[in-house]
Chain A
């Protein structure tokens, strides 16, 4: 009762200022119009000035877009709305700026890579093929990549899993803090430094280059990634599950093995696959430790091997038209491999997402 009585008085004082709510505003399609105008202006100016580089056309259009939307909004609407519009258009431009390189990269790789990519390319090595001539293939490099990455995975997954288990299930005190910190720092180790580390071991003990040395360097890069992602996944496992198992008298280690890990298995698999995808493209350690070879060497424990990223680098360095073609084709194979891993990993993540109980 009293509330309605209070509310009545303010209403009879209606439109003192016509208020910005009903002020002039641009139609909803305005940004699209601005964009069209800006692109037309940018490309037009670029064509008139005779610039060859399309990057400039794009950057100019982006600039025009931001300017046009600001000025038009500030004349039609008000200063605050104009600032808001400015921020919105800058943010959109940022996003487009980021997406353009990605699509350009994928487009270039696919279109140039398909030139020589065929069954022959996938099933032959470079044995006896001079770098500047056409022919040859990536078979030896694919074998090398698979073996090195496989070995690195075999080494790093148990270590990574156990470390993550330690951090989540047992970790208290200074040691756990130190491990957490150094795992984070280790994530940032440049791949070439990991390579140099094993190179210095190799020099010290006079070992010869082999796929195994490369795999060890890759494992150093892979362990922290596995630890981080596994840790996140283990943290998501609800405590009720652990408590229920412990309350039944199951020892802690069996609880971890039979309850915690199976619950988080989907996420852990995803993490491992993403880590594999990341190290599959590493070139620097392979260059320092495996040396590269034109021949098929299926034994990762002895002798030089090749790998896909290293093969790309090698062919790029030869610098002939034929070798560039091979480099692009190998890049396409590598990108397909990495993207496939990524897609499958995310598929598993979605399919097996742990029930967080929310």
Chain B
């Protein structure tokens, strides 16, 4: 307070280290320390997640009598404990890919709808409705999927089998309810729609107005405007949005655990019940797991962690690079 004496310009001697200035500096130091400390704490948490998971995984894998990467079995309680992630890796990747194939085009469509097609007054509420999809907890998607979606998809599954069996992947070789990787993919697609939509929408809204107006002035239809100026501009944004969605689909637990009827086989017949994903396997096997069983599940969790880390990191790098040259800040 002493340093803020209302003196005039000429005799301004701010070099005198007033008492309050020094306390201010001490406060600044503490505050900076606290905020930098919590930043560092975040890094420490990330590092220790990797560290702890890796430590327990080493314990588990050293006792594994099978090959951790190629064994088609999960039996850590057996006499020679045998477990491997081959089926889980396959199921996780395939169900997420199915989800991506369904969700990304639809999400781009919705994003375009909200940014370019919807009546102006409706756009904001519609965007909000799509965001609400993201707010629904995954366990509710799970029971909705298991008790409601599965029976409704049976007809579609039979139809796909009837007309597209020649594609091999839609060939349904087992009779049974639609608790298959395909159904899981459909459910995951619904769940990742909001994130892909909202990121793509942001990008589409950043397209320079001038580009669009120039195209319109040349007589382009709305679709031509989108194809010539919006989509090229938004391509990298859409790619990173879909990778964010992929990251979410890879780690989804409860929705998969409720819908899928798991089995330890690898089959490209997407409509057959069976298969498994990392997260689903953890949820399903955790209750009966012994000491080694838990460590084995942690080991599979580590693989999942690395997988999502790579996908998310790549997505963020693409976004960051794009930001640099487009000058558009979030």
Closest 6 CB pairs of A and B: A281-B137, A190-B251, A53-B155, A94-B109, A251-B24, A188-B312
B330 at the interface (CB under 8 A from A): yes
In the complex the two chains form, is A190's CB within 8 Å of B113's CB?
no
A167 at the interface (CB under 8 A from B): yes
A146 at the interface (CB under 8 A from B): no
B272-315: CB near A (< 8 Å → 1, else 0) gives 00000001001100100001001101100100110011011100
Measured in the bound complex, the distance between the Cα atoms of B136 and A223 in whole Å is 20
A358 at the interface (CB under 8 A from B): no
Residues of B within 8 A of A181 (CB): 313, 316, 320
B228 at the interface (CB under 8 A from A): no
In the complex the two chains form, is B135's CB within 8 Å of A278's CB?
yes
Q: A186-B42, A232-B330 are in contact. Are A196 and B313 (CB under 8 A)?
A: no
Mark B residues whose CB is within 8 Å of A: 3-4, 23-25, 27-28, 30-32, 34-43, 45-46, 48-49, 52-53, 55-56, 105-110, 112-114, 117-118, 126, 128-130, 132-133, 135-144, 146-148, 152-156, 159, 190, 193, 197, 221-224, 226, 244, 247-248, 250-254, 257-258, 279, 282-283, 286, 291, 294-295, 297-298, 301, 304-305, 308-309, 311-313, 316, 320, 330
In whole Å, how far is A205's beta carbon from the nearest beta carbon of chain B? 11
In the complex the two chains form, is B135's CB within 8 Å of A188's CB?
no
Residues of B within 8 A of A277 (CB): 135
Q: A92-B117, A163-B42, A192-B282 are in contact. Are A53 and B144 (CB under 8 A)?
A: no
In the complex the two chains form, is B251's CB within 8 Å of A56's CB?
no
In the complex the two chains form, is B27's CB within 8 Å of A251's CB?
yes
Contact of B304 among A193, A204, A227, A232 (CB under 8 A): A193
Mark A residues whose CB is within 8 Å of B: 51-56, 59, 80-81, 83-84, 86-88, 90-95, 97-99, 101-102, 104-105, 108-109, 158-160, 162-163, 165-167, 169-171, 175-176, 178-179, 181-194, 196-197, 199-201, 203-204, 220, 223-224, 227, 232, 248-254, 256, 277-278, 280-284, 287-288, 309, 312-313, 316, 324, 327-328, 331, 334-335, 338-339, 342, 346
Measured in the bound complex, the distance between the Cα atoms of B130 and A63 in whole Å is 22
Measured in the bound complex, the distance between the Cα atoms of B178 and A318 in whole Å is 20
In the complex the two chains form, is B136's CB within 8 Å of A95's CB?
no
In the complex the two chains form, is A109's CB within 8 Å of B140's CB?
yes
Q: Taking CB as reference atom, which chain B residue is nearest A341?
A: B135
In the complex the two chains form, is B222's CB within 8 Å of A199's CB?
no
Residues of A within 8 A of B128 (CB): 346
Measured in the bound complex, the distance between the Cα atoms of B302 and A194 in whole Å is 11
Q: Taking CB as reference atom, which chain B residue is nearest A93?
A: B109
Q: Taking CB as reference atom, which chain B residue is nearest A106?
A: B136
In the complex the two chains form, is A312's CB within 8 Å of B304's CB?
no
Q: Taking CB as reference atom, which chain B residue is nearest A181?
A: B316
In the complex the two chains form, is B253's CB within 8 Å of A98's CB?
no
In the complex the two chains form, is A179's CB within 8 Å of B138's CB?
no
